[in-house]
Every structure is written in C-alpha cells, then in structure tokens.
C-alpha cells in the first residue's frame, strides 16, 4: 500500500453548511467539517444526532437538502466500515474481502491475492475459506476491516465499528486498526459512543448535539500514532476524556 | 427425545391404528365396498403395484413438468419485479388473485379447454398455476432481502446493475427461493390431483383418476391402495425437497 498524497486541494472531503431533512424534519445541520489527509477525526454525540447521516454524506451515499459536499476520492477510493460486519453470508472471508476489488474491475486472480494479503494484515491467516457464520464477532469485524483496507482507500469512514464487541476485543481491534491506518494514513472519520475510544484513536474529537445535529465542542489531541503503550494512563489522555465527557454531558442535557 | 423414540413413537401409533382398523372390519363384518380391511388393501396394493406405479408416474411427471413451467414464468417475472417497482406494482395484484382463487374452481374450465384427448395438458396447467405463486413470491422477497448496508457498499464501489444482481441479490435470495420451491412442490401435486379429479374419466391415467374410477366401481381396496400410493408419493417428494434444501443451505452459509 502506498501513502496517498492529496492531488486536488488540502481536504479529502468536506461538508459546508450542509442541512439534511427527512420529510421536512431537520436531522442535521447546519454542519461543516473538513477532513484533511492523514487526519483521524472522531464524532461523538447522543443517539439520533445525525452522526451517521454526516458519515453517509461524506461517503457520497446521500445528498444534503442544502449546502455543499466536496469529495476528492474517486470510485473505489472511499471505504466504509459499518456497525455490524455486513459480510455476505454466502461468501467466504476471502471472497468478501475481494468483493470491492472485483467490483472495481480487478480480475479474479489479482483480487484474490490482494484479499489474501489484506486478511493476513488483520491477523486472519488460515480463515480465508471460512464463511461469516463460522467466524466469531471479532473475527467477522476483522474481515470487514480487511475489506475496507483492501482497496487502499483515501477516505476511511467507520460507523461505530466496535460497538458490538466486548471490551478486550474492541481495545485490541482499535490498536490493530490504528497501526494499519498509520501505514498509509487515509483520512479517517469514525463514530463512537465511547469517549475513551474517541480520544485514543483520534487527533480531533468532535462533539455533536441533537435537534438537529450540529457541532457543540471540539477537542484537538497530539498526533503521536500509534499511541504509546501507557497512553490511557497519561494526563493528556485523562484530561481529554474529562473535557470531551463534560461537553457530551452538556449536549445530552440540552437534548433532554 | 432420542432418535429411536422419534421413529418408534409414530410407527407404534400407525401400527395400533391399523390393528384397530383390521379388528373393527372383521368384528363388525363390514362389507368391502364400504371399508376394506388393511389386509385387503395390502393385497390390492401388491396385485396392482405395476399399474399404481405407472399412475403415480403420470401424476408425478405432470407435477414436476408443471413445477418447471411455473419456475420458467415466475423466475424472470420476479427478476423484473425486483428491478422495477412499476412492474412489481403491476404484477402483484394479479399474482395474489391467482393465488387466492381456489384451483378447484378453475379446474373445470381448464379441463374443458384441454379437451378429452389431452387431459394431461389440464393437469400440468393447473399444477403450474398453483405452483407459480410460492415460486414468484419466494424469489421476489429473496431478491429484495439483501442487507441494506451491503447494498450501500455496492453503491460505494459503483457496482453495475448486473454486478448487484449476480453478486448480491441472487445469492441473498437463495434461502427464500428454496423455501418457495418446497411449498410449490407440495402444491403442484395438489394441483395435478385436483385436475385429474375434475377430468374424471377420459384418458387421464394418474393416481387421482385411479381413485375416482375405482370408487365409481366400488373397488374400494384399490381406492385405498391408490390413496396410499399418493400419500407415499407426496411424502417422498417432500422429504427429497427438504433434504435438498437443508444440504444447499448448509453449503450456502458454511455450516
């Protein structure tokens, strides 16, 4: 995988004063966000504050009611990891990872080779022929992450990727995702309910408030990826968690 | 419940009922043209095994041919309905009407169209009519059953309509199609039997026709033997379809 350099402008994707309404009911905005190459941005906020909507706008899967969405990644250069692994139950792990490559028109042979390499990078050597029903929740999520990274995306979007996993598995997976991410550093935006996860994985944590969704606070963190071993006990980490939690609490109280 | 009990319990019940039946027939000295004893039915079964087998084949082949015809219509129709909501909207009310109209009610009409010389056309057509709906609705539901996030993934990577159909919707439809086939197999036998009974006499030679003929002639032992053959045919067909479904699904999801 080669590090992608932004050819067209400083941002990979941006939202400018976007507003999204479903049947006239406002769910998001006005909302603005720039994703620069190499950045890791976390979106936290109460349920139903439009986080997933913002993610789908950035992915180009949805159009805003008002405002401008700018995206520079071409076809196949955006990857999304959903809350559930979202694997095709009839296909093997290898075929699931090869799917985006095949859809992009890569021949079966090279696609399979790349998929095998992507599975190896997430630690799933030997599980290539297994089907999703034969994988544990953590393993299935790894296949999903391998599928997202197989195409060497310039924009990586993750919607609560570890929400369904136990604490130990999600910490291990977060470390693995971050070390894989540092290899090429695509612009990364992820949604999480865990403030600690946000502070651990992001250099920019954005707190959203509801009704309709907008930014209520932002917290910048030192880059330093991958995080050093005892980062979770450092004052920087603790202060950031405290600060973001407070902002989140305020946002949720204003919702209640 | 262990495997042995699962086999022994229904077998014991059957045996008890047969013994009760036999004893009742002998004790009450019932005339054979009212209710033959199981022993008499067994004799009839053995004596007419050849013709019963032939009749069973006639019914089975028209049911299977009907299944094939119904699939040839239901498959492409479900595909186009899955792609176009307009086609789905157009087809759905007709398909439901066809489904809820009792096949017995349209049988005389179809039998008279087929004419006395070719009652097998009517049996096949009526069996196809009843087999159509489960095949169509299973395929259509299945084609639309793919995980919405997987659909989004296909959007994301700019999949063509063909890629979406063959790599996502068709494989996602598999369990639903199998379920539809299982229901359709059972219904196609019912459709064929109804058509044979409507045709009554004539040149139809299936099991249901045998039942009607022998009843008219008060050859009740043969009637029961034909009924028995029909039940065996339906049960065997169901068992084959069911195990095929289980096997294919096991392959499909890998366990």
> What is the pLDDT, as a whole number, of residue A2?
34
pLDDT at position A57: 95
Which among B154, B252, B254 has CB closest to A103? Answer: B154
Task: State residue B3's pLDDT score.
Answer: 87
Give the whole-number percent of chain A exceeding pLDDT 70: 96
Quickly state the pLDDT bin for A227 (edges 50, 70, 90).
confident
Q: Tens of pLDDT along B141-165?
A: 999 999 999 999 999 998 998 999 9
Which residues of chain A have a CB within 8 Å of the CB of B142? none
Q: How many CA atoms lie within 13 A of A122 on its CB side?
A: 28
Q: Which of A61, A86, A104 faces B155 most closely, judged by CB atoms?
A: A61
Q: How far apart are the first and last CA of chain A?
A: 46
Whether pLDDT at A5 is above 70: no
In chain B, residues with a C-beta closer than 8 Å to the C-beta of A92 are 254
Instruction: Name B157's Cβ contacts closer than 8 Å, sequence gap at least 6.
Output: A75, A76, A99, A100, A103, A104, A151
- Segment A123-149 mean pLDDT: 94
- B249 touching A, CB under 8 A? no
pLDDT score for B88:
94
A128 secondary structure, DSSP code:
T
Instruction: Provide the strand spans (E) within A108-160.
Output: 155-159
Between chain A and chain B, how many beta carbons pairs sit less than 8 Å apart? 63
Euclidean distance between CA atoms B116 and B124, whole angstroms: 14
C-alpha A10/C-alpha A21 separation (Å) is 29
**pLDDT(A7) > 60:** no
> What confidence score (pLDDT) does residue A153 get?
93
Chain A contact for B238 (CB, 8 A cutoff): no
Cβ-nearest to B253 among A102, A103, A133 = A133
Question: Are B157 and A100 a contacting pair at CB < 8 A?
Answer: yes
- Percentage above 70 pLDDT, chain B: 98
Q: Please report the pLDDT score of residue B152 as a whole number.
A: 93
Decide: A194 and A174 in contact? Cβ < 8 Å.
no
A90–B171: do the CB atoms touch at under 8 Å?
yes
- pLDDT class for B201, splitting at 50, 70, 90? low
Residues of A in contact with B149 (CB under 8 A): 82, 84, 86
What's the CA gap between B193 and A39, in Å, rounded?
70
User: In angstroms, rounded to a whole number, what is the distance separating the alpha carbons of residues B131 and B125?
Assistant: 10
Phi, psi of B117 (to 5 degrees): -75, -25
Peptide bond into A30 cis (omega under 30): yes
Task: Over range B74-84, report the average pLDDT.
Answer: 93
pLDDT at A89 over 60: yes
Closest among A132, A147, A145, A128 to A76, alpha carbons compared: A147
Residue B155: list chain A partners with CB under 8 A: 61
* Residues in B touching A130 (Cβ below 8 Å): 254
Residue B182: alpha-carbon gap to chain centroid = 8
pLDDT at residue A90 above 70? yes
- Asked if B168 is an interface residue toward chain A (Cβ–Cβ < 8 A), one would say yes
pLDDT reported for residue A1: 34
Give ipTM to 2 decimals.
Answer: 0.86
Q: Give the mean pLDDT of chain B.
A: 92
- Mean pLDDT to the nearest integer, A117-141: 93
Query: What pLDDT digit, counting tens, does each position of B3-36 carry?
Result: 899 999 999 999 999 999 999 999 999 898 889 9
Q: What is the mean pLDDT of residues A123-128?
A: 92
What is the Cβ-side half-sphere exposure of residue B187, based on CA atoms within 13 angstroms? 24
Q: How confident is the model at residue A29 (pLDDT cuts 50, 70, 90)?
A: confident
| pLDDT value of residue A94 | 96
Which tokens in the block code for residue A143? 């296949």
Mean residue pLDDT of chain A comes to: 90
pLDDT at position B10 is 93
Contacts of residue B172 in chain A, CB cutoff 8 Å? 88, 90
């Amino acid at each position: 995988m080669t590090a992608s350099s932004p050819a067209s402008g400083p941002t990979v994707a941006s939202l400018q004063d976007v507003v999204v309404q479903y049947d006239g009911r406002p769910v998001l905005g006005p909302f603005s966000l720039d994703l620069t190459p190499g950045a890791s941005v976390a979106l936290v906020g109460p349920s139903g504050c439009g986080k997933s909507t913002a993610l789908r706008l950035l992915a180009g899967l949805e159009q805003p009611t008002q405002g401008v969405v700018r995206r520079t990644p071409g076809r196949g250069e955006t990857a999304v990891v959903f809350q559930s692994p979202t694997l095709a139950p009839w296909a093997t792990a290898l075929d699931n990872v090869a799917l985006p490559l095949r859809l992009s028109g890569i021949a079966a042979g090279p696609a399979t080779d790349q998929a095998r390499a992507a599975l190896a990078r997430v630690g799933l050597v030997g599980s290539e022929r297994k089907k999703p029903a034969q994988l544990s929740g953590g393993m299935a999520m790894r296949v999903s992450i391998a599928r997202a990274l197989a195409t060497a995306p310039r924009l990586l979007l993750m919607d609560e990727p570890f929400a369904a996993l136990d604490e130990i598995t999600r910490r291990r997976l977060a470390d693995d995702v971050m070390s894989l991410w540092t290899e090429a550093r695509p612009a990364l935006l992820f949604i999480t309910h865990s403030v600690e996860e946000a502070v651990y994985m992001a250099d920019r944590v954005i707190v959203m408030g509801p009704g309709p969704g907008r930014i209520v606070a932002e917290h910048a963190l030192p880059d330093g990826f991958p995080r050093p071993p005892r980062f979770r006990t450092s004052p920087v980490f603790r202060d950031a968690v405290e600060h973001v939690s407070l902002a989140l609490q305020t946002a949720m109280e204003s919702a209640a | 419940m262990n495997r042995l009990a699962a086999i022994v319990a229904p077998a014991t019940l059957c045996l008890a009922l047969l013994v009760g039946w036999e004893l009742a027939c002998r004790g009450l000295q019932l005339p054979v043209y009212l209710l033959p004893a199981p022993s008499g039915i067994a004799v009839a079964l053995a004596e007419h095994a050849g013709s019963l087998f032939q009749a069973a084949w006639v019914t089975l082949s028209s049911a299977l041919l009907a299944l094939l015809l119904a699939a040839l219509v239901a498959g492409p129709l479900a595909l186009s309905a899955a792609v176009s909501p307009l086609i789905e909207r157009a087809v759905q009310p007709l398909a439901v009407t066809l489904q809820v109209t009792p096949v017995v009610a349209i049988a005389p009409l179809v039998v008279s169209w087929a004419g006395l010389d070719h009652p097998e056309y009517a049996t096949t057509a009526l069996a196809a009519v009843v087999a159509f709906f489960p095949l169509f609705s299973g395929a259509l539901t299945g084609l639309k059953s793919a995980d919405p996030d997987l659909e989004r993934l296909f959007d994301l990577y700019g999949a063509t309509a063909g890629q979406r159909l063959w790599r996502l919707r068709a494989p996602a439809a598999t369990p639903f199609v199998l379920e539809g086939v299982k229901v359709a197999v059972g219904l196609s036998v019912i459709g064929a039997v109804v058509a044979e009974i409507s045709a009554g006499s004539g040149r139809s030679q299936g099991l249901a026709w045998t039942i009607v003929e022998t009843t008219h002639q008060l050859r009740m032992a043969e009637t029961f033997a034909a009924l028995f053959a029909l039940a065996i045919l339906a049960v065997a067909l169901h068992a084959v379809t069911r195990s095929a479904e289980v096997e294919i699904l096991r392959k499909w999801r890998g366990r």
